[in-house]
């Protein structure tokens, strides 16, 4: 079987920046083991698969090199980028994922793509695990958690940029990942995301976690429109708009590679 695969850098308009995703549109689902093996072979943060449904929407699934992920923003952005490129007259896409339900993605201006999801605001953690504190190594000013990750909050963005966590320790927090975040002078807030239990060491740019970061910083900063930066070595910019328990994440993307794979 021959399949066309696209590799797209998401949340950036520069190649070799942002976060890479491999995108495969299927006529019908492959078995789970094959999709996982493709993700392992690609060794990117995510490989995304989607199948068009009879109603015109797309059922979408995401795989890291370690396991299936229930929600991935940057690979969704990459998928929409490919579909919009293939269908210039289409401005709105509908997707459905088992864990988060239905959502829409629209074509924006100046190459931006807008993805609208339910917010996933974190809640304060009363009993902070020692494993978390030992793993990050620097005492935070606040700790919260949502269904995806622990949110470790600092007051100084320099701490976020320079922090060197113990990933083996953070791995013990599975199934939860860890995001560290702080306000910033250039951006409304910055973050870094560590997921040793579910995908890798540090994720370059993580769209899904901004469904929790933006509501938190929106409340703290009293703003509904925020510009965020994920301060990994590749880096990426995410525009966040909050309204009525919904969040629209906007970003750009650029094609790196078109390939044919054989399975």
Structure tokens at 156: 């100084």
Cα–Cα distance, 92 to 45 (Å, whole number): 26
Answer for the pair 227, 187: CB distance below 8 angstroms, yes or no.
yes
Per the annotation, the verdict on 46 as an active-site residue is: yes
Which phi and psi angles does 128 have, rounded to 5°?
Answer: -75, 125
- Exactly one of 25, 46, 96, 123 is catalytic; name it: 46
CB atoms within 10 A of CB 46: 26
What sign does the CA torsion over 101, 58, 237, 172 have?
A: positive
Q: What DSSP string describes 46-93?
A: EEEEEEE-TTS-EEEEEE-SSSEES--HHHHHHHHHHHHHH-TT--EE
Beta strand spans in 91-185 (E): 92-97, 101-107, 113-118, 123-124, 142-145, 149-153, 177-183
Assign 159 to helix, strand or coil: helix
Cα–Cα distance, 196 to 205 (Å, whole number): 15
Catalytically active residues are: 46
């Amino acid at each position: 079987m021959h399949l066309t695969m696209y590799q797209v850098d998401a949340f950036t308009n520069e190649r070799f920046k942002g976060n890479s995703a491999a995108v495969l549109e299927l006529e019908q689902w492959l078995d789970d083991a094959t999709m996982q093996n493709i993700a392992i072979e690609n060794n990117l943060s995510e490989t995304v698969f989607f199948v068009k449904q009879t109603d015109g929407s797309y059922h979408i699934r995401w795989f890291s090199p370690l396991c299936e992920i229930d929600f991935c923003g940057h690979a969704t952005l990459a998928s929409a980028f490919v579909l919009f490129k293939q269908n210039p007259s289409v401005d709105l896409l509908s997707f459905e994922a088992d864990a988060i339900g239905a959502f829409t993605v629209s074509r924006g201006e100046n190459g931006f793509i807008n993805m609208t999801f339910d917010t996933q605001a974190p809640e304060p953690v009363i009993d902070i695990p020692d494993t978390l504190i030992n793993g990050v190594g620097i005492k935070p000013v606040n700790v919260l958690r949502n269904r995806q990750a622990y949110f470790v909050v600092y007051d100084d963005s320099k701490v976020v940029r320079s922090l060197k966590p113990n990933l083996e320790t953070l791995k013990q927090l599975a199934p939860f990942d860890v995001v560290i975040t702080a306000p910033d002078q250039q951006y409304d807030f910055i973050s870094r995301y560590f997921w040793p239990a579910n995908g890798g060491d540090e994720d370059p740019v993580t769209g899904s976690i901004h469904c929790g970061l933006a509501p938190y910083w929106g409340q703290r900063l009293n703003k509904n429109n925020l510009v965020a930066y994920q301060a990994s070595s590749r880096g990426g910019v995410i525009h966040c708009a909050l309204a009525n328990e919904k969040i629209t994440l906007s970003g750009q993307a650029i094609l790196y590679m078109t390939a044919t794979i054989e399975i």
